[in-house]
Amino acid sequence: MADLEFLEHRITARLPKLGDATTTIEAPMTVRIDPLTGRSARLMTDVKQPPIPRPDLSDLTADPPFCPFCASTIERATGLIDPAITDEGRIRRGSAVVVPNVVPYSEFPTVALYDTQRHFVDLPDLTPTLVSDLLEALVAYTRGVHGIRPMWHSINANYLPPSGSSVVHPHAQSSHDDVGTTAQRDLVTRSQAWPSGSYWDRLVAAEEGGERWIGRIGRVSFFTPWSPVGFDEVWGVVQGCPDLIDLTDDDCRDLATGMSAVFGSYHAQDLASFNWALTGGGPAPSDRYSVLLKMVSRSTPIPMYRSDATYFERLHGEAVIDQTPEQVAATVRAHFPGAA
């Protein structure tokens, strides 16, 4: 019977020394294999991208003449949600609001604002309450869509242009349809095929207390993945929760508390842009799958920035990362609730 294995290949390249081309040095790198998907990632910890100081974002994030998501505009600039999903029109929880998206990323696409009162909310201000309200509002929407028929559900976010966001006003989006995404289908299919019980329970048990462990809040376990797909990647596994419709208000609060801590750690490192995704278990979820949160940082928003997605990431499906998940976990852990 197969069990979870953290496989890695250690490779040594023999290269000319930088600045001394006649000298040959040995340059180590590691290729790590994800235990579930088989996806590999390249860790080059001896070669670091130079850190970029946090830029002045005041021009980018200044109040614009028109924003459809600011409080003064949202009632006339956005539509109402289909009554088949909710009779609330726009779903509001605390400062958060969910409205229909105008771009068809899925059959039922939404936009959700953390806060309509502020056009820009910086990373340290994405508090547990703000994030929790947003998640609760999107889970309410998801339950409404699910009442139409079971589907693939995900809740996702871009933040600032390097993440793919075309709108500065901080927001999340949810997708709901009969197809799901490549990564979501793959995770669920492989979870179902895992030969011995829940892969996710097994993974959490293997990670708990280890070098990649960050902490547990409620039934959400936070750690860094063995084989990351992005920089500063953090995962949250909601054990015993097969789909987004099963997220309780407590789960939303616990996810949000962890996410807010990760945002704080990103800000402390001068990182400004990120993506996150919460994926459900599909139209026929089972206890073999647990809702998974993935968070990554993105390139710093400076003019002519270097993208963190190269041919490796876009065409090979393989991340090249300049720090280990163990180093990422140590950094994030210091920002977590209860950290010394």
Binding site for Zn ion (CB under 5 A): 67, 69-70, 119, 169
Task: Please say which residue, 70 or 241, places its beta carbon nearer to Zn ion.
Answer: 70
Least separation in angstroms between residue 160's CB and Zn ion is 13
The sign of the torsion formed by the CA atoms of 191, 192, 194, 197 equals positive
Separation CA 329–CA 309 (nearest Å): 22
Task: Please say which residue, 169 or 253, places its beta carbon nearer to Zn ion.
Answer: 169
Residue of minimal Cβ distance to Zn ion: 67
Task: Please say which residue, 119 or 190, places its beta carbon nearer to Zn ion.
Answer: 119
Q: Report phi then psi at 44, rounded to 5.
A: -115, 80
The residues, ordered by sequence, that sit 6+ positions from 293 with a Cβ below 8 Å of its Cβ are 220, 234, 235, 236, 237, 238, 255, 258, 259, 276, 277, 278
Least separation in angstroms between residue 71's CB and Zn ion is 8
Least separation in angstroms between residue 300's CB and Zn ion is 22
Least separation in angstroms between residue 258's CB and Zn ion is 26
Least separation in angstroms between residue 170's CB and Zn ion is 9
Task: Please say which residue, 101 or 154, places its beta carbon nearer to Zn ion.
Answer: 101
Neighbouring CB atoms inside 10 A of 39's CB total 17
DSSP label at residue 196: S
- Token pair, residue 136, equals 């609760």
Task: Please say which residue, 24 or 117, places its beta carbon nearer to Zn ion.
Answer: 117
At 22, which helix (H) or strand (E)? Answer: strand 20-33
